[in-house]
Chains A and B, each alone.
Chain A
Amino acid sequence: MVDRVRRFFAERGVLEVDTPVLQDGANLDHGVQPFRCGDRFLPTSPEHALKRLVAAYRQDIWTLAPAFRSGERGRRHQPEFRMLEWYRLGWDDQRIAEETVEVLRTITGLSGQVERLSWHRAWERAGLDPDAVQAQDGFSREERLDLLLTERIEPALGRDVWTVLCDYPTSGAAQARLGRDAQGRLVAARFEVYRDGIELANGYHECVDAAELLARHQAELAGHPGCTLDRPFHAMMAEGFPDCAGVAVGFDRAVMLGLGLGDVAATMAFPHSGAES
């Protein structure tokens, strides 16, 4: 499967690169806790290092790199896993989403059409109105939306098709730029790819606004105790980051899907089954 990925990118002129395992500051993605390692952090994805390479060399690049996320352990999560991540200069989220499905077909051997589905339409299809969701049972509105998404919406996505869930609300922008959807709503240029109810990839038309991204990361610091900003990353953004699209595929999940396994740990020689220390 790794060989097939390597050939796929070689044929398209995308350069394979390596990224470091220790980084100066933390990735500050919502709900994702990094491991601290001395005065450094383990990457929760190779995103920051890859973006610094994109900015420095103005070249399409890809990597298959280890990623670490504290406290994540379940049928589809492991605290250590591999992320397949790549960047395409001058592309937007829609174009890289199509390539993402091609990569996923290559890894898994599964065929199937592509279905683009907006975040709002996915809720409608499940008979739910996201605007009507209220805080309940001690969970905030935002948390209730996440729970409903995992319980009622995600399981129905990607049934015999590759579902590209797109046009996310701005609150879930992460590192995507903002834009308008067909209805004129302000949305994030972000997508996820689902197959058989499993989330496999997350991509963006990348936010290039350094001040905007710094503000988003600063807002996340409160939810990441002990974490510090990745200063070299933000310094790069301030100097100028090119227009590009990027996507990250949970490689082990794609392997799980391709092999028809029910648990991501079954794809690993050394899964973390017990409690984390």
Chain B
Amino acid sequence: MTSIPISDISKGYKLIFDNYPWIVIEVNFVKPGKGNAFYKTRVKNLVTGNVLEKTIRGGEKVDTADVSDADMTYLYSDANGYVFMNQTDYEQMTVPLKVVGDSKDFLIENMECQVTLWNGEPIQIQLPNTVTMEIEYTEPAVKGDTQSRVMKPAKLKGTGATVPVPIFCAIGDKIMINTETREFKGRTDK
């Protein structure tokens, strides 16, 4: 942990306060004439995802967080959590369920993800923006209607998660899903 003057920080810096690591989303300097100087920041908690505004006096120092991102491959899950392999040093690491969160719905074997580490411990995982998964079960397809915005639930193979898909989709279809919004993005060619 290193302390740096607040005037040195900019967007993307990672700080520690209140026992959490935070990433700086926005920073602006304000100072009324002949008044006190402040840095107004918007910061996001890297563990909980909370966003808050924090005002720091000009001239103060802040502690930077030892936070880094590692490229990892998802291997399997066990009783302790989800096991990943670091693509740089091939070391394996177990990421607990509470860190994986809802990402578990789209986590399939050999998927490449980014794992955020704080003091060497995983605090967040970032899936690819779009994943391709197979439909394990859904109601029979309505043929011909490929423009339909009418949706039905589909259960995904591998994770058992359910997402809404258009009614023309069928069991065995491979579909693309936005991992952020959980939206159906299209079918891949069969």
Q: State the A residues within 8 Å of B (CB).
A: 29-33, 70-77, 137, 139, 142-143, 145-147, 149-150, 154, 172, 174, 190, 192, 199, 202, 274-276
Chain A residues with CB under 8 Å of B5's CB are: 71
Q: Are A202 and B34 in contact (CB under 8 A)?
A: yes
Measured between C-beta atoms, what is the minimum distance from A259 to chain B in Å?
20
Q: Are A74 and B33 in contact (CB under 8 A)?
A: no
- Extra pairs beyond A73-B7, A76-B29 (9, CB < 8 Å): A30-B34, A32-B37, A72-B37, A143-B57, A146-B32, A146-B36, A147-B30, A154-B32, A174-B34
Q: Are A31 and B31 in contact (CB under 8 A)?
A: yes
Q: Are A275 and B10 in contact (CB under 8 A)?
A: yes
Chain B residues with CB under 8 Å of A150's CB are: 30-32, 38
CB-CB nearest 4 A-B residue pairs:
A74-B29, A275-B8, A71-B7, A146-B35
Q: Are A31 and B8 in contact (CB under 8 A)?
A: no
Chain A residue, CB-CB nearest to B59:
A71
- Whether B159 is near chain A, meaning CB under 8 Å from some CB there, is no
Are A33 and B33 CB-contacts (below 8 A) given A73-B7, A276-B7? no
Q: How far is the CA of A276 from the CA of B37 in the complex (A)?
A: 16
Q: Are B35 and A31 in contact (CB under 8 A)?
A: yes
B1-42 interface (Cβ within 8 A of A)? 5, 7-10, 28-38
Chain A residues with CB under 8 Å of B59's CB are: 33, 71
The bracket for how many chain B residues form the interface is 20 to 34
- Whether B96 is near chain A, meaning CB under 8 Å from some CB there, is no
Q: Are B28 and A31 in contact (CB under 8 A)?
A: no
Chain B residues with CB under 8 Å of A74's CB are: 28-30
Measured between C-beta atoms, what is the minimum distance from A17 to chain B in Å?
24
Chain B residue, CB-CB nearest to A190:
B34
Chain A residue, CB-CB nearest to B58:
A71
Q: How far is the CA of A154 from the CA of B31 in the complex (A)?
A: 11
Q: How far is the CA of A5 from the CA of B37 in the complex (A)?
A: 30
Q: Are A72 and B32 in contact (CB under 8 A)?
A: no
Q: Are A29 and B34 in contact (CB under 8 A)?
A: yes
- Whether B48 is near chain A, meaning CB under 8 Å from some CB there, is no
Chain A residues with CB under 8 Å of B7's CB are: 70-73, 275-276
Encode B127-156 as 1/0 by CB contact (under 8 A) with A: 000000000000000000000000000000
Chain A residue, CB-CB nearest to B32:
A149
Chain B residues with CB under 8 Å of A30's CB are: 34-36
Are A31 and B30 CB-contacts (below 8 A) given A71-B59, A73-B7? no
Are A172 and B35 CB-contacts (below 8 A) given A275-B7, A275-B8? yes
Chain B residues with CB under 8 Å of A146's CB are: 31-32, 35-36, 38
- Whether B55 is near chain A, meaning CB under 8 Å from some CB there, is yes
Are A199 and B32 CB-contacts (below 8 A) given A147-B55, A275-B8, A276-B8? yes
Q: Are B35 and A149 in contact (CB under 8 A)?
A: yes
Measured between C-beta atoms, what is the minimum distance from A56 to chain B in Å?
26
Q: Are B34 and A77 in contact (CB under 8 A)?
A: no
Q: How far is the CA of A31 from the CA of B32 in the complex (A)?
A: 9
Of listed A31, A147, A149, residue having the most chain B CB within 10 A: A31
Q: Are A77 and B38 in contact (CB under 8 A)?
A: no
Q: Which of A72, A143, A174 meets B36, CB within 8 Å?
A: A143
Q: Are B10 and A31 in contact (CB under 8 A)?
A: no
Measured between C-beta atoms, what is the minimum distance from A188 to chain B in Å?
10
Measured between C-beta atoms, what is the minimum distance from B155 to chain A in Å?
49
Q: Are B34 and A147 in contact (CB under 8 A)?
A: no
Chain A residue, CB-CB nearest to B37:
A31
Q: How far is the CA of A274 from the CA of B9 in the complex (A)?
A: 9
Q: How far is the CA of A211 from the CA of B9 in the complex (A)?
A: 40
Q: Are B36 and A71 in contact (CB under 8 A)?
A: no
Are A73 and B34 CB-contacts (below 8 A) given A33-B59, A147-B55, A276-B7? no
Chain B residue, CB-CB nearest to A149:
B32
Chain B residues with CB under 8 Å of A142's CB are: 36
Q: How far is the CA of A70 from the CA of B33 in the complex (A)?
A: 15
Q: How far is the CA of A139 from the CA of B7 in the complex (A)?
A: 19
Measured between C-beta atoms, what is the minimum distance from B162 to chain A in Å?
44
Chain B residues with CB under 8 Å of A276's CB are: 7-8
Measured between C-beta atoms, what is the minimum distance from B40 to chain A in Å?
8
Measured between C-beta atoms, what is the minimum distance from A196 to chain B in Å?
16
